[in-house]
Structure 1
């Protein structure tokens, strides 16, 4: 179900902006983002499947974020987010463990995050009803888009899932009360939920992806993941508007 991104022209309803870098490191991050192609991927997916009625702006170099601001219809991504992701991938020896450059893992994470925030923007733009946690819904939005419409989207989604796992490992064994009432699911839940969709999209290719699950639960979990992927794909397809 992959589609060629080269066939899409510039989308007039997505604007990409960059704040002035405040350090040499931010200059390098800005260059990395521009050269990565993730903005072209986002714009192509938006034009092809989730076009906005109202202009949405992606602002790199913001002070806060990553986040979607519904008041300004703006996605805010600090330059530091890429660097923090890169540090996680380096610290966890991503190259040695998974034969994948930490820089690519960080870019994959950034693309998944952009699609996550674009999911918030699309829900607001289209007045899509959400029954449950919207944060979970847009996690699924981002992952389903990668799996269904991007070549090697499964690898990108796995990188994003690994980032959730890395963040979970840095937390204490207990959670503060504030985290229980947070709008996001716990990082480890987000990790397994993303892997679940990746497995469900292609059980043959991803046969070993859920090996962390205990054997007593593994068979049922694999069956559920196939069901979950098909169910969520169908649900989001109801709101996608293919234009190609």
Structure 2
């Protein structure tokens, strides 16, 4: 049998020399094994788990149909040069995760609406042009950049509204009460917690869609507006959520109300927001 052994004739130094050689051999084998293991690369733990550390995959897809005229091309350009697509994509990775994915089709003949059979949200170019025209008519936005920003804010709210309907159906979320109020809550919670300028978008865009603002406007005959136009009660609920999210910051949002109404809203809105936020985060974080 091969191996290391020592006779009485071997000196102590020799014994230690053999042991030292053996130790170096074993240590070398260990280092070689460890190096091979380390070179495995993608199979190593990353952040406490095995496998590749990949970014979440977006669960919405954007489809742009070919514009048929210059107005439609302008609508397409407004979308593509805004931050809307990046915002919707980011939220689809972290908040509303669809499986299978949902298509958002720009340039459709009908809409805005969510088509369950085709699993797609449809947004006509004409609708975007109507938003721009309505916003221009108000005279509240003197520069083209401001008008485009207001248009994309209103369009973002529209998209989140239809995504809300799709998400409720996808997750079979129970609706106890008005479906439109439930979706309004979904939209405002996302705007306030996940989107830059979300509070401003919530207040301004919902004002654009209020019945008073839409009277005799080009948007008033749009099917989306006819189905979803906001009553003053719904608008006050939106403002209440915004106030309840940060009473110190939004203390002036009820200035137009009487003192009694203002005090009542201020007492209630913090609790309304807290309940709404907790309810939606139960679904959006799972």
Give TM-score scaled by structure 1 length: 0.83
Per-residue CA deviations over 1:182-233 (Å, capped at 9, x if unaligned) read 8647433332222221121122221211222222211111222222111111
Show the counterpart of 1:133. Answer: 178
Show the counterpart of 2:57. Answer: 11
* 2:91 equivalent to 1:45: yes
* 2:212 equivalent to 1:164: no
Give TM-score scaled by structure 2 length: 0.72
The verdict on how the C-alpha distance between 1:147 and 1:64 changes in structure 2, with shifts beyond 3 A counting, is same
* 2:120 equivalent to 1:74: yes
Per-residue CA deviations over 1:135-163 (Å, capped at 9, x if unaligned) read 22111101110101122211111221221
CA distance in 2, matches of 1:162, 1:210: 14
CA distance in 2, matches of 1:51, 1:127: 13
* 2:74 equivalent to 1:28: yes
Per-residue CA deviations over 1:3-30 (Å, capped at 9, x if unaligned) read xxxxx95734211101111110110110
Structure 1: runs of 5+ lacking an equivalent: 1-7, 173-181
Cα RMSD for the two superposed structures:
2.1
- Preserved CA contact (<8 Å) 1:51 1:241: no
Alignment of 1:79-228 (within 5 A): 79-95=125-141, 101-165=146-210, 167-171=211-215, 184=228, 186-228=230-272
* 2:113 equivalent to 1:60: no
Residue 70 of structure 1, CA deviation: 1.4
Q: Which has the larger radius of gyration?
A: 2
- Preserved CA contact (<8 Å) 1:54 1:125: no
Q: Which has the higher contact order (CA 8 A, sep 6+)?
A: 1
- Preserved CA contact (<8 Å) 1:136 1:185: no
Structure 2: runs of 5+ lacking an equivalent: 1-53, 217-225
